[in-house]
Amino acid sequence: MISTQVDKEIKQQDEKPIKMTQSICPECNRIIQAQIFERDSKVFMRKTCPVHGETEELYFGDYDMYRRFSAYWDDGKKQEAPNVKMDKCQCPTNCGLCTNHLSHTGLANIIITNRCDLTCWYCFFYVKKGLEGAYVYEPTLEQIRGMVKTLRAERPVPGNSVQITGGEPTMRDDLPEIIKIIREEGVEHVQLNTNGVNLALHPELAKIYKKAGVSNLYMSFDGVTARTNPKNHWEAPYAIEACRSANLGVVLVPTVIKGVNDHETYDIIKYAKQNIDVVRAVNFQPVSLTGRMSKKEREKYRITIPDVIKRIEELSEGEIARDDWYPVPSCSPVTHFIEAITTRKQYELSIHFACGAGTYVYLDKKTNRLVPITRFVDVNGLVEFLDEVSDEINSGSNKYLQLARVALKIRGFVDKSKEPDGLDLGKLLFDVLFKHDYSSMGRLQMNSLFLGMMHFQDKYNHDEERLQRCDIHYLTPDMRIIPFCSFNVIPEWYRDRIQKKYGMPVEEWEKLHHEKLEDRLYRGQLRKQAIKEGVGQTCLVNEMLSGITG
């Protein structure tokens, strides 16, 4: 006991305070102070609840990266038409969005069902039959239209990007109709979050969804082996093939857990590279530790954005290094430049720097290697230059002279000698900055793979400064827009309450639909078939691995 106290004091002597913030107690949700500090070149959060005591948690796995990323801090535009009017900021209570929320919706989730065809033991999001208070939540088409109207009513920037999610959204037969409704309301980007099983079983669905208006698939993909990816290891290749036939882009979404699949992060990128004609991005999600966990367990599984970035650097032997990554708000200088020349408020990714990061990598066809954008673009110089031009325009300089300056200088930030074969990024950048439309952004991404990180919070590392800037939201039938990390981190206040209010008991749903919830469960047909035919051990896996080693 004494030695533990001494150890703690020695540890605290090596700590360097960074700042204070507000958090919640992981036991009782009480809003409490939290200190952010550095120790052993890592950043931690410590907070003490007067009732439940102290919690210490890894917040960001690299102090150097924390300081580099936080330099891009950029508070968003706030809400001009908040759904919940609040005088004082009281996150995480009364989310809706409230007067004090700082980011407009970057991506709006609509849960269209909480039914799923899989029963993954670790998933908290699907309706489990037999549990007391189990509700099937499936908003009606009218409710969905109403939710999208709420999103489009956001000001100053109407929401323009929707993710249809679940449960498993392909369980709903009226999904094409839902997609059409969302598009009819003026949303340009519609993403379908799926496990891919139904698309693997029924490849024609990819074309149907694409025709209805889906922009891309957002598909869970936790690893390249059956062990690391029990969810859809056997099915994902078929789903990707279906999307290839339908010319429908795919984003692979691995949830990264330390000691479970972090050793396959680079293999996942290589798999994406092998399918670069259809896979547009890999979006790694360091695990969010839900439910009660001991400190020891949390230390075993906790991984943060810098940890994943460093793991990829190590596994790729520097092909994709830590300095190639930038925090999401580093896009802001581009937004500010476009706002300065158009004098209109633009779509902006103003999330907290610790929430997300990304980089673009381009395939050099000569060497078959991935080349991060930072190797041939002076990103820091470009950002600084755009900041300066925006400052000049905002200070009254002639806009057209400044535009001419940008047009003359923009290609100078690209080193043509190091640019991958067949790419003209200078021209693409020019188009993005001067045409600044959705299709220009799309073309910038067509020739590349976007590598992203998105770390959703949990009760242990919850930071109200992050929550206040969240731009991934949920649309709910009561016409609210709720930040992801309120909706899922405190389900008892948000997700569960809403699903109960707008859902129906499982028994009632079964009676109404003349089917049992378990009728549509996926029974692993593709896995069984592959193993039976020996295909699983040969062709399919070999094909996958040849993609990785190739």
Partner 1 sequence: MISLEVNKLQPEAHLSALVPQSDLSGTISFKIDFSFPVLFLDSITLDALRLAYKKSDRRIRIKYTIKLYKINAFGNKTLREISFAKKWVLYWTRDPTILEKYRTNIWMLGVNKEGYAEFFNDFEEAKKFIFKFSETVTIAASELGVGPSNVNASVKAKIWHHTFAEAGTIMAKAEPVTVSVIKD
Q: What phi and psi values does residue 455 have, to the nearest 5 degrees?
A: -105, 105
Of 38 and 138, CB closest to partner 1: 38
- Determine if 464 is a binding residue for partner 1 (CB under 8 A): yes
Of 262 and 348, CB closest to partner 1: 348
Is there a contact between 389 and 382 (Cβ–Cβ < 8 Å)?
Answer: no
Instruction: Spell 52-90 as b/e; 16+ CB within 10 A means b.
Output: eeebbbbbbbbbebbebbbebebebbbbeebbbebeeee
C-alpha distances out from residue 149 to 82, 142, 146, 350, Å = 14, 10, 5, 23
- Determine if 42 is a binding residue for partner 1 (CB under 8 A): no
Of 94 and 445, CB closest to partner 1: 94
Burial of residue 396 (CB within 10 Å: 0-12, 13-18, 19+) is exposed
Instruction: Find where tokens 């700590």 sit.
Output: 15
* Helix, strand and coil in the chain, % to nearest 5: 40, 20, 40
Nearest CA to 111 out of 450, 488, 409, 463 is that of 488
Nearest CA to 387 out of 323, 471, 331 is that of 331
Of 72 and 493, CB closest to partner 1: 72
CA distance 91 to 94: 7
C-alpha distances out from residue 481 to 57, 107, 352, 407, 413, Å = 29, 11, 18, 39, 39
Of 406 and 504, CB closest to partner 1: 406
According to CB under 8 A, which residues from 281 to 320 bind partner 1? none
Q: How far is the CB of 70 from partner 1 (least distance, A)?
A: 4
- Determine if 476 is a binding residue for partner 1 (CB under 8 A): no
Residue 95, classed as helix, strand or coil, is coil
- Determine if 102 is a binding residue for partner 1 (CB under 8 A): yes
Q: How far is the CB of 91 from partner 1 (least distance, A)?
A: 8
- Determine if 141 is a binding residue for partner 1 (CB under 8 A): no
User: Which tokens sit at 216?
Assistant: 């891309």
Q: Which amino acid is at 71?
A: A
Of 391 and 543, CB closest to partner 1: 391
According to CB under 8 A, which residues from 79 to 98 bind partner 1? 89, 91
Of 384 and 507, CB closest to partner 1: 384
Is there a contact between 104 and 156 (Cβ–Cβ < 8 Å)?
Answer: yes
Q: What mask, x for binding partner 1 by CB under 8 A, covers residues 381 to 410?
A: ---x--xx--xx-xxx--------------
Q: Which of 8, 11, 19, 427 binds partner 1 (CB under 8 A)?
A: 19
Stretch binding partner 1 (CB under 8 A), from 19-27, 50-58, 304-312, 363-371: 19-27
User: Which tokens sit at 100?
Assistant: 């004090």
Q: How far is the CB of 285 from partner 1 (least distance, A)?
A: 24
Q: Which of 42, 47, 68, 311 binds partner 1 (CB under 8 A)?
A: 68
Nearest CA to 283 out of 189, 239, 217 is that of 217
Stretch binding partner 1 (CB under 8 A), from 43-51, 212-220, 379-387, 407-415: 379-387
Q: Which of 75, 177, 299, 437 binds partner 1 (CB under 8 A)?
A: 75
Stretch binding partner 1 (CB under 8 A), from 16-24, 177-185, 515-523, 538-546: 16-24
Q: Which of 103, 215, 468, 476 binds partner 1 (CB under 8 A)?
A: 468
Question: What are residue 31's DSSP bridge partners?
Answer: 24
Q: Which of 29, 48, 70, 445 binds partner 1 (CB under 8 A)?
A: 70
Of 197 and 340, CB closest to partner 1: 340
> 395 CB contacts (<8 Å, ≥6 apart)?
none
- Determine if 459 is a binding residue for partner 1 (CB under 8 A): no
Of 56 and 463, CB closest to partner 1: 463
C-alpha distances out from residue 85 to 15, 79, 80, 101, 147, Å = 40, 10, 11, 10, 19
- Determine if 225 is a binding residue for partner 1 (CB under 8 A): no
Of 316 and 468, CB closest to partner 1: 468
The site that binds partner 1 (CB under 8 A) totals a number of residues, namely 32
Q: Which of 22, 228, 402, 488 binds partner 1 (CB under 8 A)?
A: 22
Of 71 and 153, CB closest to partner 1: 71
Query: Which residues contribute to the site for partner 1 (CB under 8 A)?
Result: 18-22, 33, 66-68, 70-71, 73-75, 77, 89, 91, 100, 102, 380, 384, 387-388, 391-392, 394-396, 463-465, 468
